[in-house]
Amino acid sequence: MFNLIFLEGSMEGLGVLIFLIIMGLFGVPIVLAFIGLILWIKNKKKGAKICWIISVIYVLISLGICGSMM
């Protein structure tokens, strides 16, 4: 009848899936915070603050809305 391949077998790909979910939640904010740090060092304070604010908002949204769906 129906192929139950998703219900059978080992969970060897589960670690990769969890890693991708975590990188989806925290990957972009880490990159934005790093760019903000580089801008802060180069004395471009306004751009650094904007990058940090965007990364914090991204984390709040991804953990709030997307985190509640998991």
Chain segment 4-51, per-residue pLDDT in tens: 555 555 666 777 778 888 888 889 999 999 999 999 999 999 999 999
Side-chain-facing half-sphere of 37: CA atoms under 13 Å? 6
Say what the pLDDT of residue 49 is: 95
- CA of residue 14 relative to chain centroid, distance: 17
Instruction: Name the helix (H) or strand (E) containing 15.
Output: helix 14-41
Report pTM: 0.68
CA separation for the pair 11, 25 (Å, rounded): 22
Q: Cα(44)–Cα(65) distance, rounded to whole angstroms? A: 32
Which residue from 70, 62, 67 is spatially nearest to 30, judged by alpha carbons? 62
pLDDT at residue 16 in the model: 78
Q: Where are the domains of the chain?
A: 27-69
